[in-house]
């Protein structure tokens, strides 16, 4: 009889330790990473790069599931409905976790409350490009023309994409005496048709991701005038930033990261964060990212969460000022 309390205590301690042991063993089965965009784009490429590296480091398959639609919001909402056990992760990014809040104040999820932002994966600028038949050789020449000829210049854009946001910010801060630039936007359903039209000379200019623009710039089919990051991009060393041309503080980035579902156990989050820091600072990943003009941002939960919050504030303000609505 004297042994019974000891046995009961041992069993109780065993039950208490079981969840912790399960968390320490994470991952003990395949992990799903929801990428809220179709396969083949920059977001998908980044998600698959991360999934391959995590699989190698943690010894379990990390499987990308593409759930596209509505600018990334469908897949992101789907993630909030998953069990917060570390076996469903979400690829976060500028469209679905910053721009979406500006487009829809009643968005069905909250990017700061519903997720734990674990690791910032990539950051890259857009490039302002013009068709080579255009007379503008510098960004300053283009701005001077637009200011003197309001409404006579147009551009292509895809609704709510990073290039669209970059242009709206440019219009708002690029004018004189507090007045915005007046440029006429031509909407496109996708980047493919828009690219075809600027290559064919149907539209004179647009903002586009630096990696997408590069082969056309190298072929002489597009002329880059400025990049939207605060620092020059290594793929475009001779192309100035918009900020250094006189529009101080200008920055508009395309970015993504990896986040967990709110409620994911802290040991799992800690392990994921440590592993992502190791992956993202490895020479292999660094070389791969820089070869296509992407920058590896500061790593860790704190800087990534602060960055996401700042992006929500920036694009909500820009969208409200421009009066842009969701489609």
| Domain-ending residue, one of 245, 279, 309 | 245
For residues 167 and 179, membership in a common domain is answered with yes
Q: Where are the beta strands (DSSP E) in the chain?
A: 31-35, 62-66, 88-93, 115-130, 154-158, 184-188, 205-209, 223-227, 253-261
Number of domains comprising the chain:
2
Domain interval for residue 153: 125-245
The span from the CA of 326 to the CA of 60, in Å, is 39
E strand or H helix at 74, and its extent?
helix 73-80
For residues 107 and 143, membership in a common domain is answered with no
For residues 134 and 181, membership in a common domain is answered with yes
89 three-state secondary structure: strand
CATH number, domain containing residue 205: 3.40.190.10
For residues 238 and 278, membership in a common domain is answered with no
Tokens matching residue 134:
């255009």
Tokens matching residue 302:
């704190």
| Domain-ending residue, one of 223, 245, 267 | 245
pLDDT truncated to tens, each residue of the chain (327 aa)? 445 555 444 445 555 544 544 556 999 999 999 999 999 888 999 999 999 999 999 999 999 999 999 999 999 999 999 999 999 999 999 999 999 999 999 999 999 999 999 999 999 999 999 999 999 999 999 999 999 999 999 999 999 999 999 999 999 999 998 899 999 999 998 889 999 999 999 999 999 999 999 999 999 999 999 999 999 999 999 999 999 999 989 999 999 999 999 999 999 999 999 999 999 999 999 999 999 899 899 999 999 999 999 999 999 999 999 999 988
In a domain, 8, yes or no: no
User: 257, 304 in Cβ contact below 8 A?
Assistant: yes
User: 119, 90 in Cβ contact below 8 A?
Assistant: no
In a domain, 273, yes or no: yes
In a domain, 265, yes or no: yes
In a domain, 283, yes or no: yes
Length of the chain, in residues: 327
For residues 152 and 185, membership in a common domain is answered with yes
pLDDT of residue 10: 46
For residues 143 and 236, membership in a common domain is answered with yes
E strand or H helix at 130, and its extent?
strand 115-130
In a domain, 4, yes or no: no
pLDDT of residue 91: 98
For residues 186 and 211, membership in a common domain is answered with yes
In a domain, 238, yes or no: yes
82 three-state secondary structure: coil
For residues 118 and 136, membership in a common domain is answered with no
For residues 107 and 173, membership in a common domain is answered with no
CATH number, domain containing residue 92: 3.40.190.150
pLDDT of residue 316: 98
For residues 290 and 222, membership in a common domain is answered with no
For residues 178 and 267, membership in a common domain is answered with no
In a domain, 155, yes or no: yes
| Domain-ending residue, one of 245, 265, 284 | 245
In a domain, 185, yes or no: yes
For residues 239 and 154, membership in a common domain is answered with yes
């Amino acid at each position: 009889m004297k042994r019974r309390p000891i046995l009961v205590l041992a069993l109780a301690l065993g039950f208490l330790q079981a969840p912790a042991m399960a968390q320490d063993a994470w991952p003990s089965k395949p992990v799903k990473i929801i990428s809220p965009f179709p396969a083949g784009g920059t977001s998908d490429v980044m998600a698959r790069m991360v999934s391959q590296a995590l699989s190698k480091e943690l010894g379990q398959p990390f499987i990308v599931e593409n759930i596209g639609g509505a600018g990334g919001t469908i897949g992101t909402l789907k993630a909030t409905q998953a069990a917060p056990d570390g076996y469903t992760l979400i690829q976060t990014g500028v469209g679905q976790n910053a721009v979406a809040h500006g487009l829809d104040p009643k968005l069905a999820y909250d990017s700061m409350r519903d997720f734990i932002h674990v690791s910032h994966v990539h950051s890259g600028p857009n490039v302002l490009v013009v068709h080579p038949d255009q007379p503008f050789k510098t960004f300053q020449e283009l701005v001077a023309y637009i200011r003197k000829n309001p409404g006579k210049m147009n551009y292509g854009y895809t609704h709510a994409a990073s290039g669209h946001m970059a242009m709206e910010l440019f219009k708002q801060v690029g004018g004189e005496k507090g007045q915005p630039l007046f440029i006429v936007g031509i909407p496109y359903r996708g980047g493919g048709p828009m690219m075809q039209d600027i290559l064919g000379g149907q539209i004179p200019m647009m903002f586009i991701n630096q990696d997408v623009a590069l082969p056309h710039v190298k072929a002489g089919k597009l002329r880059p005038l400025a990049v939207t990051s605060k620092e020059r991009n290594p793929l475009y060393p001779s192309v100035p930033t918009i900020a250094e041309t006189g529009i101080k503080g200008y920055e508009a980035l395309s970015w993504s990261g990896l986040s967990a579902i709110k409620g994911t156990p802290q040991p799992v989050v800690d392990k994921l964060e440590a592993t992502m820091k190791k992956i993202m600072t490895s020479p292999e990943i660094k070389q791969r990212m820089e070869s296509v003009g992407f920058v590896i941002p500061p790593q860790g939960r704190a800087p990534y969460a602060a960055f996401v919050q700042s992006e929500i504030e920036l694009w909500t303000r820009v969208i409200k000022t421009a009066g842009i609505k969701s489609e």
